[in-house]
Amino acid sequence: MSTIAPIFVSSVEPDHRPGIVGVARSEWTKIRSLRSTSWTFFVTAVLTIGLGALFSLGRTSGRAPGRDPITANFNAAGFAFNALFLSQLAIGVLGVLIITAEYSSGMIRTSFTAVPQRGAVLAVKAFIFALVTFVISALATFVTFFASQAILNRGTLKLGVSITSPHALRIVVGAALYLTVCGLLGVALGALLRSTAAAITALAGLLFILPILMNFLPVSWHRDAIAQWLPSNAGMQIIEKATQPLQFSPWVGLAVFAGWVAVAFAAALVLLRRRDV
């Protein structure tokens, strides 16, 4: 070139100092700007409330005092949350999608070009998703609790309890935490496997199929000792009134579940740093 090129000076300055807060803003924009994401949150909430109410209705209909073999052990506060077995899948799939959709569209390259600290992107994405999931899940579980108690209190049976009764608050908040951990399990599996189909299969396998398989193992294989460690088994102890036989106590169970997810996340972070995008 014969002419000397001018030294380029950018005239556009960032509005904020670039940093982790900016990455959080970015991930929040990604979550709120997809209609499919809002719908899946909505479906999770509807499944939780609707099925919880239905279960409660089923428990009370056709029963009358004396004819109902209710024991003192009936878990009125947590009964409706047996319905989480379905909503856990909805929120888990959403967790998978918020990361695998970036891989399938190619958006992940833009994300990692904008912020080359890949671990930070994944961590912030998971954090923002967990926050939104917990808020929506908590709204859903509180509504479920009050709807469920109203149904259980119908007629003459009066099975319902109040939110101030022992363990009730822990169960309601714990159910929301359980859903949040399910969502994070989806994120971790999605980041690990990078394919929507593979990650959803793994998610369903862990949450659904593994517990069923366990039932068919010989007891002599320490089946019960192993079964209590299964992710969904351990996690669901949080909706129990008291520690169940051959199971972890509620908080320990949830911690075991969260531990599994943490292991999956650690593996995903290591691979994220090493693999080509």
Partner 1 sequence: MIETQELSKKYGATVAVDRLSFRAVPGRVTGFLGPNGAGKSTTMRMILGLDAPTSGSVTVNGTPYRQHRYPLHEVGALLEAKAIHPGRSSYNHLLAVAQSNGFGPRRVTQVLELVGLEKVANKRAGAYSLGMGQRLGIATALLGDPGVLLLDEPVNGLDPEGIIWVRNLLKALAAEGRTVFVSSHLMAEMALTADHLVVIGRGRLIADTSVADFVASASSGRVRVSSPDSQRLRQLIAERASEVSPIEAGVDGDSPTFTVSGLQRSVIGDLALQHGIAVHELTSEAASLEQAFMELTADDVEFRAQDPNQFTQHEAAPVAASRKA
Specify the stretch interacting with partner 1 by CB under 8 A; choose among 33-41, 60-68, 128-136, 151-159: 33-41
Q: Does 222 bind partner 1 (CB under 8 A)?
A: no
Tokens 């070139």 locate to: 1
Q: Does 219 bind partner 1 (CB under 8 A)?
A: no
Q: Which residue in the set 67, 71, 245, 276 belongs to the binding site for partner 1 (CB under 8 A)?
A: 276
Q: With respect to partner 1, which residue has the nearer C-beta, 42 or 221?
A: 42
Specify the stretch interacting with partner 1 by CB under 8 A; choose among 52-60, 65-73, 106-114, 184-192: 106-114
Q: Which of 77, 59, 80, 55 is nearest to 68 (CA)?
A: 59
Q: Which of 104, 117, 93 is nearest to 189 (CA)?
A: 93
Q: Which residue in the set 110, 156, 224, 267 belongs to the binding site for partner 1 (CB under 8 A)?
A: 110
In angstroms, give the least distance from the CB of 4 to partner 1: 8
Q: Which residue in the set 60, 87, 111, 149 belongs to the binding site for partner 1 (CB under 8 A)?
A: 111
User: Which positions from 85 through 104 interact with partner 1, judged by CB under 8 A?
Assistant: 101-102
User: Which positions from 135 through 154 interact with partner 1, judged by CB under 8 A?
Assistant: none
Q: With respect to partner 1, which residue has the nearer C-beta, 11 or 71?
A: 11
Q: What is the DSSP letter of 217?
A: S
Q: With respect to partner 1, which residue has the nearer C-beta, 111 or 237?
A: 111
The kind and range of the H/E element at 173 are: helix 168-193
Question: Amino acid letter at 69?
Answer: P
Residue 55 burial by Cβ neighbours in a 10 Å radius (0-12, 13-18, 19+): middle
CA distances from 271 to 103, 244, 268, 275, 276 (A): 15, 38, 5, 6, 9
Q: Does 42 bind partner 1 (CB under 8 A)?
A: no
SS (H, E, C) 36-68: HHHHHHHHHHHHHHHHHHHHHHHHHCCCCCCCC
In angstroms, give the least distance from the CB of 148 to partner 1: 34
Q: With respect to partner 1, which residue has the nearer C-beta, 98 or 140?
A: 98
In angstroms, give the least distance from the CB of 216 to partner 1: 41
Residue 136: strand, helix, or coil: helix
Per-residue b/e over 81-90, b at no fewer than 16 CB within 10 Å? bbbbeebbbb
In angstroms, give the least distance from the CB of 94 to partner 1: 13
Q: With respect to partner 1, which residue has the nearer C-beta, 102 or 240?
A: 102
Contact 125, 33 (CB under 8 A): no
Q: With respect to partner 1, which residue has the nearer C-beta, 16 or 67?
A: 16
Q: Does 38 bind partner 1 (CB under 8 A)?
A: no
> What does residue 107 show for φ and ψ, rounded to 5 degrees?
-55, -30
Tokens of 81: 């949350």
Contact 83, 58 (CB under 8 A): no
Binding site for partner 1 (CB under 8 A): 1, 4-12, 14-19, 22-23, 25-27, 29-30, 33-36, 101-102, 105-107, 109-117, 274, 276-277
